[in-house]
Amino acid sequence: MTIQWFPGHMAKAKREVTEKLKLIDIVFELVDARIPISSRNPLIDEIVANKPRIILLNKADMADPDVTKQWIDFFAAQQIDAIAIDSQSGTGVKQMVAVAKEKLRPKFEKMIAKGIKRPRAMRALIVGIPNVGKSTLINRLAGKHIAKTGDTPGVTKAQQWIKVGKELELLDTPGILWPKFEDEEVGYKLATTGAIKDTILNLQDVAVYALRFLSTHYPDRLKERYALADIPEDIVQLFDDIGKKRGCLAAGGVVDYDKVAELVLRDIRTEKLGRLSFDRL
């Protein structure tokens, strides 16, 4: 992911998504189940406006299942359809198509009432911030590898539809929107989960955030992973303890804080600390 979101890019991304919206019946808004709020685009409600929408909490396989359930209930309380999915394995994908069909039923019944005998398939667009799994989901729905994983911003080509069974057609290029950068904590969460590049924020700062979060919300997993008898209050001490335990040392045997930061973030992203959720109700 190499996109730099300057105001011009944001305006262009918004324009492109708005154009695509004209072609479709329903939006699948992909978010990261570990950070279902922080991984939403700040203008998504304004951009999507009146189109029917389903929120897909993707990478649910990596998120804390209890917290994911709370988020689904949270969205349901606001009459927003939200479904936990895993685009890699396909879990939840059938439910997503079923819910979309149900949501569009009134629209298609109207078409039938107007005398259209065989209504066309539902047309859908997948939108989301980079790295949230849009291409993976498109590939999964298409059943073969047609969508390129990774992003190619600025590359426009003719719109193509991917047929998903008889009932659904998907635009082959997703709508790519930017994440919320203004809020520092959101930035740390995006970086911790790997949604934004490690060079955007200071790696040690991100690891400080992540370790503080784990100390509060997942202390036992932190202790177990790094064989800590207890978790020190002092964050530098925690870096030292982990660094010594895991051999993250520089010349002279002093702890190398960059190495500790890299180790901790890699462990989080590869689920060495189990399934974690960083946005909490």
Binding residues for GTP are 58-61, 131-136, 175
90 binds ligand GDP (CB under 6 A): no
3-state helix, strand, coil in the chain (%, to 5): 45, 15, 40
How many Å apart are CA 190 and CA 184, to the nearest integer? 10
Q: Tell me the C-alpha distance between 37 and 278, whole Å.
A: 10
* Closest distance of CB 30 from ligand GDP, Å: 7
Residue 189 binds ligand GDP, judged by CB under 6 A: no
Q: Which one, 58 or 192, has the nearer CB to ligand GDP?
A: 58
Cα separation, 26 vs 99, in Å, equals 11
d(CA 250, CA 203): 17
Instruction: Select the span of 2-10, 143-151, 229-237, 242-250 touching ligand GDP (CB under 6 A).
Output: 143-151
Q: Is 84 in the site for ligand GDP (CB under 6 A)?
A: no
Q: Which is nearer to ligand GDP, 173 or 226 (CB)?
A: 173
Q: Is the distance from CB of 32 to CB of 41 less than 8 angstroms?
A: no
Q: Using CB under 6 A, which of 39, 41, 68, 136 touches ligand GDP?
A: 136
For 221, the token pair is 């997993």
Q: Which stretch binds ligand GDP (CB under 6 A): 2-10, 20-28, 85-93, 95-103?
A: 85-93
Is the Cβ of residue 38 or residue 136 nearer to ligand GDP in the bound state?
Answer: 136
Query: Which position among 34, 40, 53, 134 is part of the footprint of ligand GDP (CB under 6 A)?
Result: 134
Sole binder of ligand GDP in the list 150, 165, 219, 247 (CB under 6 A): 150
255 forms bridges with which residues in the sheet?
Answer: 249
DSSP state of 100: H
Question: Which residue in 104, 111, 108, 16 sits closest to 52, CA to CA?
Answer: 104
Work out which of 59, 189, 225, 275 binds ligand GDP, going by CB under 6 A: 59
**Phi, psi for residue 47 in degrees, rounded to 5:** -70, -45
Sequence-distant (≥ 6) Cβ neighbours of residue 216 within 8 angstroms: none
- Whole-number minimum distance, CB 196 to ligand GDP, in Å? 12
Task: Name the residue number minimizing CB distance to ligand GDP.
Answer: 133
Q: CA-to-CA distance for 199 and 203, rounded, in angstroms?
A: 7
Residues touching ligand GDP, count (CB under 6 A): 18
| Helix extents (H) in 182-234 | 184-192, 203-217, 219-225
Q: Identify the residue among 39, 58, 68, 192 touching ligand GDP (CB under 6 A).
A: 58
User: Can you give the binding site for ligand GDP, defined by CB under 6 A?
Assistant: 58-59, 61-62, 86-88, 128, 130-136, 149-151
